[in-house]
Every structure is written in C-alpha cells, then in structure tokens.
Amino acid sequence: MRQFLLSPVRTVVAITGASGVIYGVRLLEELEGEKALIITETAKRILEAETDHRVAQVEGLADEVYHEDELFAPVASGSHRFERMVICPCSESTLAKVALGISDNLVTRAAAVCLKEGRRLIVVPRETPLSPAMLRNSLRLAEDGAVILPASPGFYPRPQSVEDMVDFVVGKVLDQLGQPHELFRRWGD
Ligand SMILES: Cc1cc2nc3c(=O)[nH]c(=O)nc-3n(C[C@H](O)[C@H](O)[C@H](O)COP(=O)(O)O)c2cc1C
C-alpha cells in the first residue's frame, strides 16, 4: 500500500452497503486531495446491482484502497495523519456501530478514530422509513460531533435527471468539506 504523500488534505472515503452507492462514486470523482477508499463487501455487490460501474474502476478513483478487514491499515490508527472521513452512503448498520463505538472493521474503526481525535466525520445515511433505533443512533452520532447528511436531494434547483439529484447530495458533502463546486444551482443564484 502506498503511504499518503504530502498533500493539503487527506480524506478517507468509505462506501457501505446502502442503496445509492453511486453517491460514493460521484464523491470520489469530485473530491480533491488524497483519498483512501474502503468499499465494504455488501457495497461492492450493491454497486454491481445498481450501477454499470465495476469495483476495480471505482477503486481506481482513489490513491489508496483498503479492504474492510484490514484493521492493520494506517487509517486504523489515530497516529496516522488523515484529516477527515466521509461514509457515503452509510448503511444504518455501519451508522449504528459507529454511534455505539463498535470498531469491528476498518470503516467503523477509522470513524472511531475521527471521533476520538476530533476530526471531521460526515455520514450520509440512506434509509426510509427510519425506526426509533435509527433515529436514536443518528442523534447520538450528531451529539458526538459527526455531521449527519442524509442522502436527501433538494428540488429547488429543479433537477432534470437522476445525475442532478446525485450531484445535489455530493455537492452538500463538498460544502461540508469546504471544497468549492458547481454541482447544483444554489438558491438565490
Ligand atoms: C440490495 C440491498 C440494499 C440495501 N439498502 C440499504 C439501505 O438503503 N440502507 C441501509 O441502511 N441498509 C441497506 N441494506 C442493508 C445493508 O447492506 C446491511 O445492513 C449490511 O449489513 C451493511 O453492511 P456494511 O455497512 O458493512 O456495508 C441493503 C442491503 C441490500 C442487499
């Protein structure tokens, strides 16, 4: 595995097994800086079921790729200098584990590192309807410092396609990361 080179921003991107893995793919395409990628096994299967993308192609969008079982990877440690993490999409299973402090794979461990080190953690859940447990887990995670950014596209930019709706959500993630973009037309522009 290649180590992160000197770079302004290092981001861990995790794609987990929720519907809407295309959000994670578009994020990888648009996100600037060094990217380390973890795609869970369920997400890989959903990627091939929901899109025409192949796992290898998506992995090619990142600078480093880790398997979810690689708990000895650099991003599993707080001493490794990554600055932020986005879980996009985030399954309710992964969200629940992060909210409860369970670090049983590289996704949940890297997220736990973000929380304990005070680094930015953005989770993009995609589920509906939401059970009380799911709502409680999101509240717990938000109170612990994560940004809960549901995959919930706005309609005020008048999307013309599924791609426009995907780009709205990805643009909201980039807003949270402070990266300028033109993925959707802002209200008032
Ligand atoms: C086709 C398919 C679609 C799924 N969609 C969702 C979803 O939208 N949201 C969700 O929270 N879980 C969804 N799941 C369930 C998760 O994949 C499951 O909880 C899994 O254990 C998540 O594992 P991971 O978070 O490690 O990827 C889906 C599962 C399948 C097979």
Q: Which of 16, 19, 67 to mutate to test the pocket of ligand 1 (most atoms within 8 A of CB)?
A: 19
Is it the case that residue 178 has pLDDT exceeding 60?
Answer: yes
Ligand 1 within 6 A of CB of 34? no
pLDDT per position as a tens digit, 130-146: 999 999 999 999 999 99
Tell me, what's the pLDDT at 7? 45
Which CATH number among 3.40.50.1950, 2.40.30.10, 1.10.1530.10, 3.40.50.2000 corresponds to the domain 10-161+169-177?
Answer: 3.40.50.1950
Query: So what's the pLDDT on residue 9?
Result: 67
The pLDDT of residue 129: 98
pLDDT at 4 over 60: no
Mean residue pLDDT of the chain comes to 95
Distance CA 166, CA 27 (A): 9
| Residue 127 CB less than 6 A away from ligand 1 | yes
pLDDT in tens, 10-65: 999 999 999 999 999 999 999 999 999 999 999 999 999 999 999 999 999 999 99
CA distance 109 to 113: 6
Instruction: Please say whether the beta carbons of 173 and 88 come within 8 A.
Output: yes
Closest-CA residue, ligand 1 atom 1, reads 46
Q: Which two tokens stand for residue 135?
A: 């709502």
What are the residue ranges spanned by the domains of the chain? 10-161+169-177
Q: Which residues contact 169 (CB under 8 A, 6 or more apart)?
A: 23, 124, 149, 151, 152, 153
Q: Which atom of ligand 1 is nearest to the CA of 16?
A: 27
- Residue closest via CA to ligand 1's atom 3 equals 19
| Per-residue pLDDT tens over the stretch 153-162 | 999 999 999 9
Indicate the pTM of the whole model. 0.95
Higher pLDDT, 43 or 1: 43
Residue 127 confidence (pLDDT) above 70: yes
User: Phi and psi of 152, rounded to 5°?
Assistant: -135, 85
Q: Is 108 in the pocket of ligand 1 (CB under 6 A)?
A: no
- Amino acid at the residue 43: A
